[in-house]
Amino acid sequence: MAEYQTTRTVGGVRTAAIDEGLRAHMNKVYGTMSVGMIITAAAAWALSGLAIATEPTAYQIGANTYLTEFGATLWTSPLKWVVMFLPLVMVFAFGAMINRLSAAGAQLFFYVFAAAMGVSISWIFAVFTGFSIIQVFLITAIAFAGLSLWGYTTKKDISGWGSFLIMGVIGLIVASLVNIWLQSPAIMYAVSMIGVLIFAGLTAYDTQKIKTDYIAHAAHGDQEWLAKSAIMGALNLYLDFINMFMFLLQLFGNRE
């Protein structure tokens, strides 16, 4: 935050230019994130339409819900592990490749990742009612907007939250992997509760970091870096939203 204060006191012209650029930068971040969310929703919905049937098949999963052959292959065969972990692999690959990618290439990679995420979470349409999915999505959107706005406007430096929150994410991943085999409802509930809190904190933290990173680098005029920074910011906020949504859905979603 010290960089933010220093930059803004250089002069009135520069302050106005940086403020205008910051607004454009944040619009780029939220716009890119929103397109990614639309791609994810469309991919998940389209895939669920191919995987879930209301007419009887050999794979019944609910009172009036069945899997098609495609759905059974996607969600009950070893292919499910590929579908489940592909987005995680892509996130790490994106972080490793970002410096070598152009801004256009990074944006395309993000949209491909968003589609892969849609495939990965498409199973929610087989488990939860459509109404509860929409309801939890709206709750997540309202909470995300409030947290992100607070992270953008607060004068408090919350950069110290980063290490603690990242350690929390690692703990969540380990606990979730362990619970794949344990199938413990208590662990799932605890992970979901803690996960909501961690990604709520990350939403505010990441928003402030996007803002301060822009202000720290805006004076250098490196447009390629700023463009890629906006995409990385969109990815971070996208992940915060998706994870908060999934944890809230585990807690409050109505199952089929």
DSSP string, 108-175: HHHHHHHHHHHHHTTTHHHHB-HHHHHHHHHHHHHHHHHHHHHHHH--S--TTHHHHHHHHHHHHHHH
pLDDT at 17: 64
pLDDT at 221: 64
Contact 146, 200 (CB under 8 A): no
pLDDT at 99: 85
Spans of the chain below 70 pLDDT: 1-17, 219-221, 256
Q: Write out pLDDT tens, residues 170-199.
A: 999 999 889 888 888 899 999 999 999 999
Measure the CA–CA gap between 68 and 70, rounded to whole angstroms. Answer: 5
Strands (E), the chain: 52-53, 59-60, 66-67
Measure the CA–CA gap between 199 and 160, rounded to whole angstroms. Answer: 15
Q: Which residues pair with 66 in a beta bridge?
A: 53, 60
pLDDT at 3: 40
| pTM for the predicted model, two decimal places | 0.88
pLDDT at 15: 64
